[in-house]
Amino acid sequence: MADAPLALLAELTHRCPLRCPYCSNPVELARAGTELSTGEWERVLGEAAELGCLQVHLSGGEPTVRRDLPEIVAAARGAGLYANLITAGVLLDAPLMARLVEAGLDHVQLSIQDAEEAGAERIGGMRGAMPRKAEAARLVREAGLPLTLNAVVHRQNLPNLSRMIERALEWGAARLEVAHVQYYGWALLNRDALLPDRAMLDEATRVVTEAQQRLQGRLVIDYVVPDYHAKRPKACMGGWARRFLGVSPAGRILPCHAAESLTGLDFPNVREVSLRAAWEDSPAFNAFRGTGWMPAPCRGCEHAEQDWGGCRCQAFALTGDMRATDPACALSPHHAVLAEAVASAGAPDFRYRGFTREDILPSHDVRLSNA
């Protein structure tokens, strides 16, 4: 029997006014008409708590696009879950903030695309986003909620990393996550424009390490590095279907946020089965649990129960075989593809993700009227 998951990622929607080229959402985005209803999310949150989840991350796309977000937060609170909102902040105004606080929101994680407005607009594809983010940070602070800033870094914004750290201090964040792009979904399509070389990565690591020491007691800085310069894989999400559970906007139950990229696995849907049935009995969830599935050189490796074979989505993206050894491992026969990708990086232009305006803004929804 699998241990209970600690956290649920509730992807409420794929709709978003930003068009970030590193977005980890699937290339085929779920349309508004397929999204789970308020009642369906209320049931899912109750099932998550019964299964043993302690927290829910309300994400997207942009979750504040959903007009029922306060009701969903209230359902999370009612189920006894710690509710974290992951948002770009550009739609977070004072009335919505007040409703979310009243509903029981516990924490806000706010993304930034760059330290300066011009860079943020180019990367996020939305004019005027930076002042809106600053205002969102102010609203979170005034509401008395803890604030985390999430800085997704890559070749195009790493020169401004020091300034992004200063932004976190200016905006009153208690925590900053400096996360190098992970190459799934839209990020994989834009890898040549996003992937840093080794010198850029080393400089970023130096900047973060210095800031962690200098700002100790003022700002907690978490640091996530890309696998493309690694010799050992990470335990992706703590291991396949070990500590993490996700639900897509259309209700697919997933062991990681990128799992929909894997072909050949049939992921169950909350409209058909319970979270518990999916977690405990689904062949897709059990496919890569433990070590019995592992090929050589993973099988018998002393690190097998530490990295759990690395990332299945990355193995599939880079080799076409989700059962292959993660190329991030130096022992993988495919390890060279990472060096080849780094060597070919440097493209100047992005391929932006996104919907048409009609897809993002249904006729009955006015929340994006100024986006």
User: Are residues 192 and 151 in contact, defined by beta-carbon separation less than 8 angstroms?
Assistant: no
User: Are residues 149 and 173 in contact, defined by beta-carbon separation less than 8 angstroms?
Assistant: yes
Q: What is the spatial distance between Cα 112 and Cα 249, in angstroms, rounded to a whole number?
A: 23
Within 13 Å of residue 333, how many CA atoms lie on the same side as its CB? 7
Instruction: Judge whether 23 is annotated as a binding position.
Output: yes
Q: What is the spatial distance between Cα 110 and Cα 83, in angstroms, rounded to a whole number?
A: 14
Q: Which residues make beta-bridge pairs with 175?
A: 148, 220
Q: What is the spatial distance between Cα 89 and Cα 128, in angstroms, rounded to a whole number?
A: 12
Q: How far is CA 150 from the centre of its chain?
A: 10
Phi and psi, residue 163, nearest 5°: -70, -35
Q: What is the spatial distance between Cα 133 and Cα 130, in angstroms, rounded to a whole number?
A: 5
Instruction: Judge whether 16 is annotated as a binding position.
Output: yes
Lookup: tokens for 150: 């999430």
Q: What is the spatial distance between Cα 242 and Cα 73, in angstroms, rounded to a whole number?
A: 25
DSSP string, 282-318: -HHHHTTSSSTTPPTTTTT-TTHHHHTTS-HHHHHHH
Q: Angle 264-193-114 (CA atoms, 0-180°, nearest 5)?
A: 110
How many residues does the structure list for the chain? 371
Lookup: tokens for 71: 């009701």
Known binding positions for [4Fe-4S] cluster: 16, 20, 23
Annotated binding-site ranges: 16, 20, 23
